[in-house]
Amino acid sequence: MLLSLLLPGCSFVAERAGAPRDPADSTELVVEVPAGATARSMAPILEEAGVIDDAGDFVLWVRLTKEGGCIKAGRHKVRPDMDAAAIVASLCAAPLASDVPFTVVEGWRIREIDAALAQAGLAEAGAYSLAVSTPSAYTASFPLPTDTLEGYLFPETYMVDPTRFTVEGFVQRQLDLFGERFASKHSEEELAGRGLHPLVIMASMLEREEPKPEQRPMVAGILWKRLDNNWNLGVDATSRYTLEQWNDRKAFLKLLRDPNDIYNTRLRGGLPPTPIGNPSTSSLEAALAPTDSPYWYYLHDAQQNLHPATDVAGHEANRRKYNVY
């Protein structure tokens, strides 16, 4: 306590009383200022949170400086390396928004994001799908497609304020994060080899085709090789893209036999017309940097382990060995 130091040199006393608890600790802590609280009444709360060393010293600083009359109710960020003046300034600033986490799962399609937003009470059903249907309404540091933003809506856990949430603002955040996490990390020359949009389409297939990120470059190499040699890709996940429910097996098997399904890569050549979901960084990087190998085929066993093969005979042997049909 510094109360005993209250001598004519009040500025010195105030400086000592308001010194940081730990100048080397920049850990951000969040404290709640109750309605009607004062700087003095916050002293025990700050001490308990580990922001200040001694509540009495903080009260003394407030009394000597006559600061702290403007603190606002709500949540505020403070740190142990702040002195009393900085802490009070933070408590006087606008409180933190009441953010909540919202997760976009890797591989989700637009329709799954839309449904999750509606379930979370953040948007009306269909609002997100409508918002992403006009790519020209958004800005990006990379070329945006003109028809759909599928594939560019970066999957991540976002902190959102339910009271200020807009689907348009959320879409822009996703596009910004796509640029930050992938597009901006590579030169135009790197992305121009295949082209950004084909890379995103490939990455969206890898997200669904290969559950283990470390194996995605291998699968990417096989799929690019098939494409470059005019083979049908044979990625069954593409035929699920238009299904209302991804795991609707009956509808899926019907589409696998439909040559008119533009997403059927068993029966149609080339890439599917759009990405089939929104891929992670792992899949995007694998599409950009595939592993060269002698393999042309692959399958997964019941434990989701990858088993590649160089020819049809090897692939069929793997089918029999791992009972995959």
pLDDT string in tens for the chain (325-residue length):
444 444 445 676 778 888 999 999 999 998 989 888 898 999 999 999 999 999 999 999 999 998 878 898 888 999 999 999 999 999 999 888 777 899 999 999 999 999 999 999 999 999 999 999 999 999 999 999 999 999 999 999 998 988 889 999 999 999 999 999 999 999 999 999 999 999 999 999 999 999 999 999 999 999 999 999 999 999 999 999 999 999 999 999 999 999 999 999 999 999 999 999 999 999 999 999 999 999 999 999 999 999 999 999 999 999 999 999 8
For 16, the 3-state DSSP assignment is helix
Q: How many domains does the chain have?
A: 3
Closest CA to 287 of 211, 222, 234, 212: 222
316 within domain boundaries: no
Indicate if 31 and 113 belong to the same structural domain.
no
Sequence-distant (6+) residues with CB within 8 A of 278 are 104, 106, 107, 108, 109, 110, 113, 150, 151, 152, 153, 154, 155, 204, 207
How many CA atoms, within 13 angstroms, populate the side-chain half-sphere of residue 28?
A: 6
Q: What is the pLDDT of residue 315?
A: 96
Among 31, 58, 92, the domain boundary falls at 92
Among 73, 92, 111, the domain boundary falls at 92
Q: What is the pLDDT of residue 231?
A: 97
Indicate if 270 and 205 belong to the same structural domain.
yes
Among 166, 184, 202, the domain boundary falls at 184
Indicate if 172 and 206 belong to the same structural domain.
no
Task: State the CB neighbour count (10 A cutoff) for residue 292.
Answer: 11
Which pTM does this prediction carry?
0.73
Indicate if 126 and 170 belong to the same structural domain.
yes
Ramachandran quadrant class, 323 (left: phi over 0; alpha: psi -120 to 50; beta: rest):
left
75 within domain boundaries: yes
Query: 58 lies in which domain range?
Result: 3-92
First to last CA, the chain: 76
Q: What angle, 0 to 180 degrees and rounded to 10, lies between the N-to-C axes of helices 10-17 and 55-65?
A: 140
Task: State the CB neighbour count (10 A cutoff) for residue 24.
Answer: 7
